[in-house]
Amino acid sequence: MENLQTSSVINMKIGICDTTFARYDMASAAINEIKQHVGNNKIIRRTVPGVKDLPVACKKLIEEEGCEVVMALGMPGPEVMDKTCAHEASTGLIQAQLMTNTHILEVFVHEDEGVDEKDLKFLADNRAREHAQNLVKMFFKKGALEKEAGMGMREGHPDKGPL
């Protein structure tokens, strides 16, 4: 994707929220990706213990810090309890979006998605970066996502492609 830094006149506050539970620093990958495309925008990062702490942290980034979009990055573990936590966190993130009328892009990588640790690391980095690109397209490149509508795009994994 092209660098939009010079072409963009939009100046936004972008929130990035991640967890210590995650086994990869997805927030740094997302921030690095955003800065490559729209580095002139302010990025505010917060780190919380786990995914269930993300909804209120994101809501605070929006309401108290003035962020106009937030990324919520987390890694649910492989146990049934972890999957339940992830679902609860996801529901909380949707509620926070509706309460604030603001997008929170959920970027979860389930620990059992990777076939091994190397694969999991690659997946986490890739998904964080590709969702960061989605954020850039949504807010800085008018019509960019519409061009990709129905194209079977996947974040982290290879795209599926259109039917």
Name which position in 38, 41, 69, 77 contacts ligand DLZ (CB under 6 A). 77
Residue placing its CB nearer to ligand DLZ in the complex, 8 or 19? 19
- Nearest residue relative to ligand DLZ (C-beta): 50
The pair of three-digit structure tokens given for residue 28, joined into one six-digit string:
């740094």
Give the burial string for 115-154 (b: 16+ CB within 10 Å, else e).
eeeeebeebbbbbbbbbbbbbbbebbbeebeeeeeeeeee
Q: Does 114 bind ligand DLZ (CB under 6 A)?
A: no
Minimum separation from the CB atom of position 78 to ligand DLZ (A): 8
Identify the CA nearest to 43 among candidates 29, 24, 22. Answer: 29
Size of the site for ligand DLZ (CB under 6 A): 13
Residues engaged in binding ligand DLZ (CB under 6 A) = 19, 21, 49-53, 74, 76-77, 81-82, 85
